[in-house]
Structure 1
């Protein structure tokens, strides 16, 4: 099995999303220690934002007439599409930033789409664990209800556009203990953390059983 892991955190060792992805992979590799993990870290090693427009423009240019920049952008887009297509499973740790996906994730998605054929289901039938975290609370009745514009979008791209067999692990209130305005939410934050860790471990065991 080849497992594609993608991270997009900018929090380094403090990352809640990376910690949950670690749990998924720990459960998987405990049962299947010989599996190959391909790791792409979009936050630490971001893709060039201009590459998507360049790759799309190159699609209207004969290969022999493309500039070196166009050729490089097309090659990068195809590489990203191939990583997705060749993965037997994927663990994607993609936290919410500013109420949506980060620019790093959007560039990755756009380039991967450009690197495939129109309508290409890059994860067709592939088991995928999406780990997504949010600093605040976005549930029903909260002041920020409806402000999470990332999770629904990722479900559409991963599940409906790319055809993944999708499991979503979510954790909210990760900024409790960091933002004093959230201090009163320490108890629900601790419960959220515990439930998310259990869900991540279960998702890892499910991947191992595939």
Structure 2
């Protein structure tokens, strides 16, 4: 089992989403210890946003790209190759202002490429990253599960499903901004969910 772990908190230390992502990975590896683990800390090594240079580079043939464009596309190619070779994705996803972090959004944008990770057909879009499983560790200061304020889960289900990853499980740690007792309860609830992950 090859695991790709993406920690998307802006915090390098002490992020609950990273803590829970680590515990998800540990749980998975107790059942299937063989294989590889690749971890990216986006706070320390951020993915640059898709900009005009990247869009232009994707629209032209590789041999006509400038060195800068070629380097930017090579970085995206490397991230895509990691996802393609992974059996399991584990995403640490804190909620910032009711959405995913800019770090996670930039990573997602870098792996979404027409003709590579998805394609358009006569029957509509088709994801090309099929047969993979994803686990998402969600950390929130408030209580948003199943409420209209939770834009993270619908977005992540949509974008992962668009890429062909339909098997997605979410682990919630909520109410982290409500004090130490709330944090203790949130972590205990999240760990109960992790213990039952398939």
TM-score scaled by structure 1? 0.81
What is the 5 A alignment of 1:6-21? 6-21=6-21
Report what 1:154 is aligned to: 156
Q: Does 1:36 align with 2:36?
A: yes
Deviation at 1:123, TM superposition (A): 3.1
Which structure has the highest helix share of the two? Answer: 1
Decide which moves more: 190-199 or 102-111: 190-199
Report what 1:183 is aligned to: none
What is the DSSP-based 3-state SS (H/G/I as helix, E as strand, rest coil) of the residue aligned with 2:149? Answer: coil
Q: Could you tell me which of 129, 132, 142 is aligned with 1:126?
A: 132
Q: Which is bigger in relative contact order (C-alpha 8 A, separation at least 6)?
A: 1
Q: Say whether the 8 Å CA contact 1:123–1:162 is kept in structure 2.
A: yes
Gaps of 5+ in 2: 120-125
What is the 5 A alignment of 1:163-174? 163-164=164-165, 165-174=167-176
Q: Say whether the 8 Å CA contact 1:84–1:122 is kept in structure 2.
A: no
Deviation at 1:52, TM superposition (A): 4.6
Q: Say whether the 8 Å CA contact 2:57–2:70 is kept in structure 1.
A: yes
Deviation at 1:76, TM superposition (A): 1.4
Report what 1:198 is aligned to: 192
What is the 5 A alignment of 1:31-110? 31-49=31-49, 51-110=50-109
Q: Say whether the 8 Å CA contact 2:118–2:163 is kept in structure 1.
A: no
Q: Say whether the 8 Å CA contact 1:7–1:93 is kept in structure 2.
A: yes
Q: Say whether the 8 Å CA contact 1:52–1:107 is kept in structure 2.
A: no
Q: Say whether the 8 Å CA contact 1:58–1:70 is kept in structure 2.
A: yes
The 1-side partners of 2:145 and 2:30 are apart by: 34
Change (3 A) 1:176 1:162: same
TM-score scaled by structure 2? 0.85
Which structure has the highest strand share of the two? Answer: 2
Q: Say whether the 8 Å CA contact 2:91–2:137 is kept in structure 1.
A: yes
